Amino acid sequence: MTRRLALIVPALTALALTAATALPASAHERTRNTPARQSTVAASTIVGVAAGNPDFSTLVAAVQAARLVDTLSGDGPFTVFAPTNAAFDGLPAGTVDRLVQPGQRRQLQRILTYHVVAGRVSAADLSTAVRVGGGQATLKTVQGGTLTAEAAGRGRLRLIDSTGESFWITATDINASNGVVHVIDGVLTPGH
């Protein structure tokens, strides 16, 4: 797994860095359908943003193994609750290596799409939903399950998955062209 990440992440990081290069409006018009323009658009998607951050290298490798790159690079919009590498490291030993095997693709897709909500849900939107809901709000995931967002004092929010485990939302509103990413400190588990 580590060797695979060492090969994948530099290539994706280079792709993501192209998003940081802004062109003047007239240049955008001239390059609308060129490969360079397509790379810039792809790099600014949720997958491109994740690939540009070394704290998400395990997530990016899992998205690739699950064959979800095209989906999460699509129009969306999507809201992704993105586990960091440290979150994946908290899983039992060998879990990630097992899940990225081709025979586990469907299970990996279930897990990853459980971290995705259709639509662009900002931190302010989520906080408002929690406040209106009396301290909790339910989110329907792309996988078909539900997550519960819960107020946890001092303006902090946490997510509760189908097993009852809760994880902190540690960073919010990382914008992408096709949605928004919120960082979480654990890997959410979908129901059966």
Tell me the domain boundaries of the chain. 54-184
**pLDDT at residue 30 in the model:** 29
Query: Alpha-carbon distance 56 to 144, whole Å?
Result: 24
CB 131 within 8 A of CB 151: yes
Q: Which residue has the higher pLDDT, 18 or 74?
A: 74
pLDDT bin (cut points 50, 70, 90) of residue 127 is very high
| Kind and range of the H or E run holding 86 | helix 85-89
Q: 157-160 and 146-151: which strand pairing? A: antiparallel
- Is the pLDDT reported for residue 41 higher than 60? no
pLDDT at 153: 83
Class at the top of the CATH hierarchy for domain 54-184: mainly beta
Sign of CA dihedral 120, 126, 127, 133: positive
Mean of per-residue pLDDT scores for the chain: 81
| Extended strands (E) in the chain | 78-83, 116-118, 136-140, 146-151, 157-160, 166-176, 179-184
Return the ∠ at Cα 111 (arms to 133 and 11), rounded to 5°: 115
- Note if the pTM is more than 0.85: no
pLDDT digits (tens, 9 = 90+) for 70-115: 999 999 899 999 999 999 999 999 999 999 999 999 999 999 999 9
Reduce the DSSP state of residue 142 to 3 states and report it: coil
For 70, phi then psi, to 5°, come to -65, -40
Percent over 70 (pLDDT), the chain: 77
Q: Give pLDDT, residue 154.
A: 84
State how far the Cα of 26 lies from the Cα of 23, in Å rounded to an integer.
Answer: 8
pLDDT at residue 43 in the model: 56
Beta bridge partners of 122: none
Q: Look up residue 146 and give its two tokens.
A: 């539900």
